[in-house]
Structure 1
Amino acid sequence: MRVSRFYQEGDIKVGEELALTQANHRHAVQVLRLKEGDDLILFNGQSGEYAAKVSATDKRNSQVIVEDYDPVNRESSLSISLILANIKPDKMDFAIQKAVELGVSTIQPMYTKRSVIKLKSNRLEKKMQHWQGVIIAACEQSGRTAIPAIKEPCDFDEIFSAYDGTTQISMLPGSENKIQQMKLDESHNGVSIIIGPEGGFSNEEEQLMQSKNVQSVNFGKRILRAETAVVAGITACQMAWGDL
């Protein structure tokens, strides 16, 4: 039986008893039906993970005893930044979830000419909290020990300076280069994967990427949805690097 994992903020020390966060308590008791004596795994995003056991629980709180520390590192040696146009909410959640499962280190939403949704300031904070929740849940499920960063959305023309020093690769259906021709430069500080909205990049945006020496690649004869391109692009980079 698989042991459930929980992201627990703050310091965790072997031998101590600590209270689960209220969110973790509710999930442990109401969803997973954990009870006294059940095992679980904690991680705080700093390093490794901790084996723990439920020591007490009631309707309001759950206490656990931290029994052991495992310095396991399941993070990719390739630093991947996903730069993704802000697409429809359910598709965005799916893309973020799968990107985390596949090992990205940073997620950068962006606004393009054809972006479907542009967040106003009064909605942005709530949306950022929601995305953070999607990321944490994906880390818990996939066994990751670090929490990827989620950045506030930026405009398209800002990404080139913000991610200067990385190998920048765009997924373009009209590119003459196949994904196999993608080149990852080990001297660069990771790779940035740039994926446009449902309607694709505008001609002006494609020209700007070309002027910035962004590598463009395609996935063959078929046109992928933005969220599918996320999975395919990250997988291709990880395979080329040797992480998969």
Structure 2
Amino acid sequence: MPRLHLPGPIAAGVLDVPADTVRHLHALRLRPGDEFHVFDGRGGEWEARLVSTAGPARAEILRHVPIERELPWAVTLAVGMPANDRMDWLVEKATEMGVAALQPLMTVRSVLRLEGERAARRVAHWQAVVVAACEQCGRNRIPEVRPVLSLQSWLATLPAFDGSDPAGRARCLLAAPREGHAAPFAVWATRYEASLQADSLAARSILALSGPEGGLDPEEAARARAAGFAPVSLGSRVLRAETAPLVFLAACGGLAPQD
């Protein structure tokens, strides 16, 4: 059944359909009487029926379905932006795989450089990619794409690290295979879950940092480790900048929350 995002809050009753959504309805060839699902990003989805498609288009909101399709952990990905259309692809696939938020970063080795109005336009574009991916994959929570920052500026926004994140988040650096000090993902995950058993107030969320093409330079990696980011290895193969975060998300999907 088609799924569409509507600006909320949505409530039972008849409502006008925004113009952008009307174009989507036409593309899907929906006619009055056809049913579809809508969501506003606040949780769950609504069953709806198309009432009219002209002047203005209207839909009847029928019933709320409290279903969620999120990862067991809230994962924020801070990524050194890959160039060209690879960032678009990463944003789309990370959304499908359950990321909670995306923080685009410029690093020393970044090919893609964005500032000012150009950066704002790209962030708006990526947020639209996120919404479309949520419509397609069944998610009812919309990840936030945050404003572009330099790695150094972003690290400065984080709470000081004294052995634990005050927000209860695990901090990990997706390290290249050649970095022998990086813990295998399974080892890191076991340590993280053990720390949650010891602290019932932990927020059960993960902050993962991944570099651009060529990875972080040595000074950036050192700053990340000083900020509490534990190097985590995803295996012996060299993964592309847009692949490593997705492998990490897939692995996180297998973590079961501790009750």
Instruction: Check whether TM > 0.5.
Output: yes
Query: Is contact 1:25–1:61 with CA below 8 Å preserved after alignment?
Result: no
- Deviation, 1:163, is 4.3
> Which residue in the other structure is 1:109 paired with?
104
User: 1:83-94 to 2 correspondence within 5 Å?
Assistant: 83-94=78-89
Query: Is contact 2:47–2:61 with CA below 8 Å preserved after alignment?
Result: yes
- Deviation, 1:161, is 4.7
- The answer to which of 117-126 and 176-185 deviates more is 176-185
User: 1:60-209 to 2 correspondence within 5 Å?
Assistant: 61-164=56-159, 165=165, 166-173=169-176, 174-176=178-180, 177-183=183-189, 184=192, 185-186=195-196, 187=199, 188-189=202-203, 190-209=205-224
For 1:27, which of 24, 28, 44 is the aligned residue?
24
Amino acid at match of 1:28: L
Amino acid at match of 1:8: L
Alignment length (residue pairs): 238
| Alpha-carbon distance in structure 2 between the residues aligned to 1:220 and 1:95 | 20
Query: Is contact 1:163–1:192 with CA below 8 Å preserved after alignment?
Result: no
> Which residue in the other structure is 2:231 paired with?
216
- Deviation, 1:11, is 2.4
- Deviation, 1:159, is 3.4
Secondary structure of the 2:93 match is: helix
Amino acid at match of 1:170: L
Identity of aligned residues (%): 29
| Alpha-carbon distance in structure 2 between the residues aligned to 1:163 and 1:75 | 25
For 2:253, which of 225, 235, 238 is the aligned residue?
238
Segments of 5+ residues of structure 1 without an aligned counterpart are: none
| Alpha-carbon distance in structure 2 between the residues aligned to 1:220 and 1:74 | 27
| Alpha-carbon distance in structure 1 between the residues aligned to 2:224 and 2:120 | 29
Segments of 5+ residues of structure 2 without an aligned counterpart are: 160-164
- Deviation, 1:160, is 3.5
Find runs of 4+ consecutive structure 1 residues off by over 4 angstroms: none
> Which residue in the other structure is 2:162 paired with?
none
Query: Is contact 1:83–1:193 with CA below 8 Å preserved after alignment?
Result: yes
Deviations 1:180-201 (A, max 9, x none): 2223243444111111001111
- The answer to whether the aligner puts 1:9 opposite 2:7 as a matched pair is yes
Query: Is contact 1:193–1:234 with CA below 8 Å preserved after alignment?
Result: no
- Deviation, 1:92, is 0.7
Query: Is contact 2:73–2:206 with CA below 8 Å preserved after alignment?
Result: yes
- The answer to which of 152-161 and 42-51 deviates more is 152-161
- Deviation, 1:110, is 0.8
> Which residue in the other structure is 1:48 paired with?
44
| Alpha-carbon distance in structure 2 between the residues aligned to 1:65 and 1:210 | 52
TM-score (norm 2): 0.85
TM-score (norm 1): 0.90
| Alpha-carbon distance in structure 1 between the residues aligned to 2:153 and 2:248 | 21
Deviations 1:112-169 (A, max 9, x none): 1001111121212211210110110111112111111111011212333534422111
- The answer to which of 233-242 and 85-94 deviates more is 233-242
